[in-house]
Homo-oligomer: A and B are copies of this chain.
């Protein structure tokens, strides 16, 4: 089946991505972004375009209760009741997001099926391409909502009752755009799953390869911390008598950076720790900060090193209470285990890469993806395409069209192999 790779049509894939980029397009100084929040007009148009493309290739389209879209193709020789090999990603974006994040994976999946069809190949298992609802969490959730429902981790009623900032429910928003279907897409019924996604990092660019085979997706722990000092007059409060929440919070930020760097050097080079939120009150130039709220994001492929960072945060808070007389609060509302991709999928991807003559590297994913959920219920693999400069979630997000084509070839070969006994 060497010739399958020739049927992967980069122009057709590019057409789908650039057409999709028009929905929710936001012109910005240095190019175009897209804002495609779940249940908006832009999301409706992106979904309709996808359904049209599925129809064109005779795929059996289903929309589930939370708006997950699946197109299923039963090859001529396949048993229609057999478990599918599935692929896909998502069509929603963050506010001012890029054109490849999610969209590449959806249309690479469809292009893989089109190529298998055009090559007149007939794998033994049905193939399915999926667009999950609300992966980004831009409107209704913390993200990966559709795949969470598809594995049964969230139930349909809870998901539909989730509200946006204005009180609109996901159910209402999906009805509004006519994409609230029936039943539940069931990922546990899949034989296996592969997702192609942009790397959103620079390791592929640095090693000049067109595709990366992901071995692990990092876990994520998020902590929310309040540091409470005393808001006071910056001029009349002596250095000795002030309880400055900002300088205490600054110590914590530097401690997190320092302990994470130490873990990277000595234990796990994939660990990252970030203080992304840092809200200072009252925030006036002549008032000593009375409080700082910190939002902290910790990731690694080893749960233990994430726990080390959390422990160091708690020790630092105790020390700050002791040395600086601040009060502190700590919560940890978000805790996701690292997960490994299946050996079978990794091996299949390596084999397909060899057959197609595509250079790859193995790497981990620092970002969560729908695959993070799917890997809990079936054999799952994740492929990365290079991100120019590592940029994502902005107008600067870019993947060379030739890399899109090459990584889609890898996806097509591996999907065919998984579906062929």
Contacts and interface: CB of A to CB of B under 8 A. Distances in A.
Given A236-B367, A237-B390, A286-B297, 12 more contacts: A202-B241, A232-B391, A238-B264, A238-B269, A238-B272, A247-B254, A250-B253, A254-B254, A275-B289, A276-B283, A277-B285, A287-B393
Interface of A: 199-202, 218, 220, 222, 231-241, 244, 246-247, 249-251, 253-254, 257, 260-261, 264, 269-280, 283-289, 295-297, 299, 365-368, 390-394
A254 B250 contact: yes
A203 B317 CA distance: 30
B367 A271 contact: no
A299 B235 contact: yes
Contacts of A284: 276-277, 295
Given A233-B367, A390-B236, A283 B278 contact: yes
A366 B236 contact: yes
Given A275-B246, A280-B278, A392 B233 contact: yes
Nearest to A199: B236
Contact of A257 (B201, B218, B247): B247
A297 B285 contact: yes
A274 B368 contact: no
Contact of A235 (B220, B239, B260, B289): B220
10 closest A-B pairs by CB: A250-B250, A235-B366, A285-B295, A234-B274, A201-B236, A236-B366, A200-B236, A250-B253, A235-B367, A234-B297
Contacts of A299: 234-235
A279 B283 CA distance: 8
A260 to B, nearest CB: 6
Contact of A366 (B233, B244, B261): B233
13 contacts: A232-B390, A235-B272, A235-B297, A235-B365, A235-B366, A239-B261, A254-B254, A274-B287, A277-B280, A278-B280, A284-B295, A286-B297, A287-B393
A222 B390 contact: no
A365 B289 CA distance: 20
Given A276-B234, A278-B246, A260 B285 contact: no
A202 B247 CA distance: 22
Contact of A288 (B251, B270, B276, B391): B276
A29 to B, nearest CB: 15
Contacts of A272: 234-235, 237-239
A72 B374 CA distance: 83
A228 to B, nearest CB: 15
Contacts of A365: 235-236
B285 A276 contact: yes
A287 B276 contact: yes
Nearest to A282: B276
A363 to B, nearest CB: 10
Nearest to A280: B278
Nearest to A206: B241
A289 B297 contact: no
Contact of A200 (B222, B233, B273, B277): B233
A250 B272 CA distance: 18
A264 B240 contact: yes
